[in-house]
C-alpha cells in the first residue's frame, strides 16, 4: 500500500502540491499528467525520497519494495554492463555476498557446522532465483537494445543515454511492488520502446509513470492522475478517456455556474426593486442572504482548466517536380559501412518515417542526404526545384548564442514579421518576455526547440527531420503534428514517437541491423501487417537477437549461410512448368485485380461519409454533447468499415504481389 496524506509542497511563493490526499490503487498502471511546471517530477521525487516535503506524510505498508529510475547513473559501476545489471538486484546481491563469504570460510573450515551454513546461504540464494539472475539480466538488457559486445563492455565507456538504459534494466530486474518512472522511454529507439511497453503491460505491481508519449499514455494507463494548480484529480482510464471526462466535467461546471449566476441576478433584481419597501423588507433580507450563499457557491466552483489552444502553420512549400529525391545503391557510414544498397524514391508530398534500432544508421542516412557527411558508395539526387531544410539532433549548435530567441528566428526569413515569429515561438512554449532571452541562458531542451522553429519556418519544400519531437512536451507535439498535417511539402523524418509517426506518415522506411532496408506504404500497423505477409523482419516485435543487432560473427555466419543457400539453389533440379498451374495463377491474378478495383471503388463513399460527418461535427455547438457524441459514433462506424476495407485491400495487394512473383518465376523456368 502506498498513499499520500495532506501532502504540501511549495517553491517560494508557488504551491505545487496543496494538501493532496490520494491512495495509489494496487496493481493499477497510473499515468501522471499535467502541464509543464505543474509539479509531476516533484511528486515522483517526493514518493522516491529524493525531495523533502513541507507538510503532510507518505504512508506505505511494511516491506514495500519501491523501484524508481535514479536521476544519475551509478558513479562506481561493476567492470561490465552485465555484472553491473546483476549487482543492481538489491536482495540477491546481498544473498550472493553472504553465500560467497560462507564459501570462503568453507575453504579453511570444512566442519559440519560450516557446511550447513554454506548450504543454507546457497539455498536462500537459489530459492530467490539467484542462479537464473544472469539469464534474466541478459534478457532485459537485450530487450533494451544492448548487444553482446556492449554487455561485456565497461559501463563507464557508454554514453549518458545508454548509462540510463542500464539503470532502467536494473530497476526492471528488481521487480518492485511499486514502480515509479519519469519519462521511461527517453533515450530509447522504437524497437526498445515497444519492448519496454510490453514489459510494463505485463508488470504485476503498481506502476506510476510520467510520459510525453501520447501513444504510451493511451496503451498503458488504466488510470490517469491530472496535476494542476496543486490539486490531484484521478480519472479512470487512459489519457484520451481523461480528456473526455474533463470535457464533460467542464461543461457541467460551466452549466452549474451559469444557473447560479441566473439565480443570483434574479435575486439581486428583487432586492434592488423591493429592498426599500417596508412590506417587502423581510423578504428582501432573506433574498440578500440567499445571494451571499450563491456567491459562496460560485466562488467554490473551479472551472476545469483547459490547455491554451496553440496554432502553428508552416509556410507554403515552393513548387517543384514530382520526384523529390532519388537514391541509388547508397552505402552510408563513417570508418565502416552501417547500411548499404539503399534504394529509395521520395515522391512529392510523401511523408516517410524511418524506423529501426539505435546504431544502424538512421541519423547517418539523413546526414548523408543533407550533405553533412559523404556517401561511401552509390548516389542520390534531388529533383527539380527541391529546396530541403535539415533539422539534426544537435542543431542547436547553429544558434547565435549572444542573440535573443526572437532574433534567431527572425533571421531565418526576411519576410517573417515579429507577430508571426512570436506566435510560432508560443507554440513551442516561448511566450511573453521569454522571446527576449539570449540563447546562452537557455537549457539544452530550450535551445533545441528554438532550432526546430528555425528549421520549420524556412521556405522549404522538403523537410528532413531527425527526432523533431525531442524536448517537446505533449501539447507542443500535438501542435507540431497539426502544423505538419497542413504542410503541402514533403517529409522524411526519424522519430521514436509512435503517435507522431502514425499521425503523419504515408510510408514507413525500415532499416535493419544487417544493412537491409525496405519501404512500406501506410503507417506502423500497415508495415507490421505487410511484413508478416512478406516474411520481412518486424522491428517493432523484435526477438532478442533482432534487438541486439548483428555482431561481426553474426554477419559472418549469415554470409556462410547465404553461400550454402546459393549453392543449393544452383543444385536444384530443373522443373517442368505445369501449364495448368500457370493458367490458375493468371486466373487468381485477374480475381485479385478485380477485387482491388472494387475495394478502391468502395473506399470513396466511405471517405465521403466520414468527411461529411466530420464537417457536421465541427458545426455542432460545444454544449450539445449528446448530439456531438451521436455524430462521433456514426463516424466510428464508417471508420471501422473503412479500416476493414483497407485491411482487405492490403491482403489482396500482398496476394497479387506473390502471384506476380510466382508467374515471373515460372516464366524464367520455361
- Inter-helix orientation angle 444-456/418-427, to 10°: 130
Determine the pLDDT at residue 618. Answer: 65
User: Would 96 be classed as within a structural domain?
Assistant: yes
Same-domain pairing of 125 and 31: yes
Neighbouring-strand partners of residue 55: 8
pLDDT at 277: 54
Pair 260, 191 in one domain: no
Contacts of residues 278-282 at CB distance under 8 Å and 24 or more positions apart, as own/partner, are none
Q: What is the pLDDT of residue 29?
A: 94
The pLDDT value given to residue 546: 38
CB 510 within 8 A of CB 517: yes
pLDDT of residue 524: 92
Residue 182 in any domain: the answer is yes
- The answer to whether 51 and 42 are in contact (CB under 8 A) is yes
Contact 48, 2 (CB under 8 A): no
Q: Using CB atoms within 10 A of its CB, is residue 282 exposed (0-12), middle (13-18) or buried (19+)? A: exposed
Beta-sheet strands, E only, within 385-502: 388-391, 462-466, 490-494
> Do residues 7 and 156 both lie within one domain?
yes
537 and 622: one domain?
no
Per-residue pLDDT reduced to its tens digit, 639-666: 778 778 877 877 787 788 778 777 776 6
Measured CA to CA in angstroms, residue 618 lies from 601, 624, 627, 628 at distances of: 27, 12, 12, 9
**641 part of a folded domain:** yes
- Last residue of one domain, picked from the residues 201, 221, 242: 242
Q: Which of 324, 326, 330 shows the shortest CA–CA distance to 373?
A: 330
String of DSSP letters for 379-416: EEEE-TT--EEEE-TTGGGGS-TTSBHHHHHHTT-TT-
Is 589 inside any structural domain?
yes
Residues in the chain: 670
Per-residue pLDDT, 548:
38
Tell me how far apart the alpha carbons of residues 129 and 136 are, in angstroms, rounded to a whole number.
10
Contacts of residue 103, defined as CB under 8 A and 6 or more positions apart, other chains included, come to 118
With a cut of 70, list the residues of the chain below it in pLDDT. 36, 270-271, 273-285, 287-288, 294, 296-312, 395-397, 445, 542-578, 614, 617-618, 620-626, 628, 665-670
469, 614: one domain: no
Q: Which of 309, 306, 362, 315 is nearest to 501 (CA)?
A: 362
Specify whether the CB–CB gap between 550 and 561 falls below 8 A.
no
Name the domain count of the chain.
Answer: 4
Measured distance CA(174)–CA(240) in Å, rounded: 31
Handedness of CA 538, 542, 545, 548 (dihedral sign): positive
CATH number assigned to the domain comprising residue 359: 3.40.50.300
Domain membership of residue 555 (yes or no) is: no
Which residues, including other chains, have CB under 8 Å from residue 372's CB and lie 6 or more apart?
A: 390, 392
Q: Same structural domain for residues 85 and 151?
A: yes
The C-alpha cell at 394 is 544537435
Are 139 and 10 in the same domain? yes
Give the closest residue to 484 by CA, choosing from 496, 502, 508.
Answer: 502
- Three-state secondary-structure class, residue 189: coil
Q: Is 16 exposed, middle or buried (0-12, 13-18, 19+ CB in 10 A)?
A: buried
Structural domain that includes position 265: 247-300
Same domain, 228 and 263: no
pLDDT of res. 283? 63
| Tens-digit pLDDT profile for residues 61-77 | 887 888 888 777 888 88
All 3 cell numbers of residue 426? 508560443
Mark which of 242, 259, 276 sits at the end of a domain: 242
Q: What is the pTM of this model?
A: 0.63
37: left (phi over 0), alpha (psi -120 to 50) or beta: left
The pLDDT of residue 636 = 76
12-41, pLDDT tens digit by residue?
Answer: 777 888 888 999 998 899 999 887 677 888
* Residue-level pLDDT at 330: 93
- Same domain, yes or no: 135 and 44: yes
Main-chain dihedrals φ then ψ at residue 440, nearest 5 degrees:
-65, -20
List residues bridging with 32 in a β-sheet: 225
Is 316 inside any structural domain? no
Grid cell, residue 282, equals: 423581510
Whether residues 639 and 658 share a domain: the answer is yes
Torsion angle in degrees (nearest 10) through CA of 46, 52, 57, 61: 50
178-182/2-11 β-pairing: unpaired
- 512/356 Cα distance (integer angstroms): 6
| Cβ contacts of 382 within 8 Å, gap of 6 or more | 324, 325, 388, 462
Among residues 223, 242, 261, the one where a domain terminates is 242
Q: Is residue 563 part of a domain?
A: no
User: What residues contact residue 504 under an 8 Å CB cut-off, 6+ apart?
Assistant: 351, 353, 481, 484, 485, 491, 493
Q: Which residue has the cell 493499477?
A: 28
Res 80: pLDDT: 92
CA 103 from chain centre, in angstroms, equals: 48
632 and 528 within one domain: no
Judgement on whether residues 513 and 535 belong to the same structural domain of the protein: yes
Check residue 319 and report its DSSP letter: P
Sign of the torsion angle spanned by Cα atoms 392, 398, 400, 406: negative
Determine contact, residues 428/452, Cβ cutoff 8 Å: yes
Distance CA 210, CA 197 (A): 13
66-104 burial: b if 16+ Cβ within 10 Å, else e: bbbbeeebbeebeeebbbbbbbbbeebeebbebbeebee
Residue with cell 517442368: 576
Contact 222, 237 (CB under 8 A): yes
565 occurs within a structural domain: no
Amino acid at each position: 500500500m502506498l498513499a499520500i496524506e495532506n501532502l504540501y509542497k511549495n517553491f517560494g511563493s508557488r504551491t505545487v502540491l496543496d494538501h493532496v490526499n490520494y491512495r495509489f490503487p494496487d496493481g493499477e498502471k497510473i499515468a501522471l499528467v499535467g502541464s509543464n511546471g505543474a509539479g509531476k517530477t516533484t511528486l515522483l521525487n517526493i514518493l522516491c525520497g529524493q525531495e523533502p516535503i513541507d507538510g503532510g506524510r507518505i504512508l506505505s505498508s511494511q516491506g514495500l519494495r519501491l523501484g524508481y529510475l535514479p536521476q544519475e547513473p551509478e558513479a562506481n559501476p561493476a567492470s561490465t554492463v552485465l555484472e553491473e545489471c546483476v549487482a543492481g538486484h538489491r536482495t540477491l546481491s546481498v544473498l550472493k555476498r553472504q553465500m560467497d563469504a560462507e564459501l570462503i570460510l568453507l575453504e579453511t573450515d570444512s566442519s559440519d557446522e560450516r557446511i550447513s551454513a554454506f548450504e543454507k546461504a546457497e539455498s536462500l540464494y537459489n530459492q530467490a532465483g539467484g542462479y537464473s539472475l544472469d539469464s534474466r539480466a541478459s534478457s532485459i538488457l537485450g530487450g533494451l537494445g544492448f548487444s553482446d559486445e556492449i554487455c561485456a563492455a565497461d559501463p563507464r565507456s557508454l554514453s549518458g543515454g545508454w548509462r540510463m538504459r542500464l539503470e532502467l534494466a536494473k530497476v526492471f530486474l528488481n521487480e518492485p511492488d511499486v514502480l515509479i518512472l519519469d519519462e521511461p522511454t527517453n533515450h530509447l529507439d522504437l524497437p526498445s520502446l515497444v519492448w519496454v511497453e510490453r514489459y510494463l503491460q505485463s508488470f504485476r505491481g503498481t506502476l506510476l509513470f510520467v510520459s510525453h508519449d501520447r501513444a504510451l499514455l493511451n496503451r498503458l494507463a488504466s488510470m490517469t492522475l491530472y496535476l494542476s494548480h496543486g490539486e490531484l484529480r484521478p480519472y479512470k482510464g487512459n489519457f484520451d478517456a481523461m480528456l473526455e471526462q474533463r470535457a464533460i466535467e467542464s461543461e457541467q461546471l460551466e452549466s452549474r455556474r451559469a444557473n447560479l449566476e441566473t439565480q443570483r441576478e434574479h435575486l439581486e433584481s428583487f432586492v434592488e426593486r423591493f429592498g426599500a419597501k417596508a412590506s417587502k423588507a423581510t423578504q428582501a433580507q432573506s433574498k440578500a442572504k440567499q445571494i451571499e450563499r450563491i456567491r459562496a457557491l460560485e466562488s467554490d466552483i473551479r472551472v476545469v482548466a483547459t490547455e491554451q489552444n496553440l496554432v502553428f502553420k508552416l509556410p507554403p512549400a515552393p513548387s517543384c517536380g514530382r520526384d523529390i529525391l532519388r537514391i541509388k545503391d547508397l552505402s552510408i557510414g563513417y570508418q565502416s559501412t552501417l547500411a548499404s544498397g539503399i534504394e529509395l524514391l521520395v515522391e512529392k508530398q510523401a511523408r516517410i518515417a524511418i524506423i529501426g534500432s539505435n546504431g544502424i544508421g538512421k541519423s547517418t542516412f539523413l546526414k548523408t542526404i543533407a550533405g553533412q557527411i559523404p556517401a561511401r558508395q552509390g548516389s542520390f539526387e534531388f529533383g527539380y526545384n527541391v529546396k530541403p531544410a535539415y533539422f539534426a539532433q544537435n542543431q542547436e549548435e547553429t544558434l547565435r548564442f549572444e542573440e535573443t530567441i526572437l532574433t534567431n528566428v527572425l533571421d531565418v526569413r526576411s519576410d517573417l514579421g515579429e507577430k508571426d515569429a512570436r506566435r510560432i515561438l508560443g507554440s513551442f512554449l516561448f511566450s511573453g518576455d521569454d522571446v527576449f532571452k539570449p540563447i546562452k541562458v537557455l537549457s539544452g531542451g530550450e535551445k533545441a526547440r528554438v532550432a526546430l522553429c528555425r528549421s520549420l519556418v524556412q521556405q522549404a519544400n522538403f523537410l528532413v527531420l531527425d527526432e523533431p519531437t525531442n524536448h517537446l512536451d505533449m501539447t507542443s507535439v500535438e501542435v507540431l503534428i497539426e502544423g505538419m498535417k497542413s504542410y503541402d511539402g514533403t517529409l522524411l523524418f526519424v522519430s521514436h514517437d509512435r503517435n507522431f509517426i502514425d499521425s503523419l506518415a504515408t510510408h514507413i522506411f525500415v532499416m535493419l541491423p544487417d544493412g537491409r532496408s525496405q519501404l512500406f506504404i501506410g503507417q506502423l500497423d500497415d508495415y507490421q501487417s505487410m511484413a508478416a505477409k512478406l516474411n520481412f523482419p518486424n522491428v517493432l516485435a523484435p526477438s532478442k537477437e533482432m534487438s541486439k543487432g548483428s555482431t561481426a560473427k553474426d554477419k559472418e555466419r549469415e554470409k556462410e549461410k547465404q553461400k550454402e543457400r546459393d549453392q543449393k539453389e544452383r543444385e536444384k533440379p530443373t522443373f517442368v512448368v505445369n501449364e495448368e498451374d500457370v493458367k490458375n495463377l493468371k486466373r487468381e491474378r485477374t480475381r485479385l485485380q478485380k477485387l482491388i478495383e472494387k475495394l478502391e471503388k468502395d473506399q470513396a463513399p466511405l471517405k465521403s461519409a466520414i468527411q461529411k460527418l466530420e464537417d457536421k461535427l465541427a458545426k455542432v455547438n460545444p454544449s450539445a454533447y449528446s448530439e456531438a457524441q451521436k455524430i462521433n459514433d456514426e463516424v466510428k462506424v464508417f471508420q471501422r468499415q473503412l479500416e476493414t476495407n483497407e485491411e482487405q485491400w492490403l491482403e489482396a495487394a500482398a496476394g497479387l504481389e506473390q502471384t506476380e512473383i510466382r508467374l515471373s518465376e515460372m516464366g524464367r523456368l520455361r
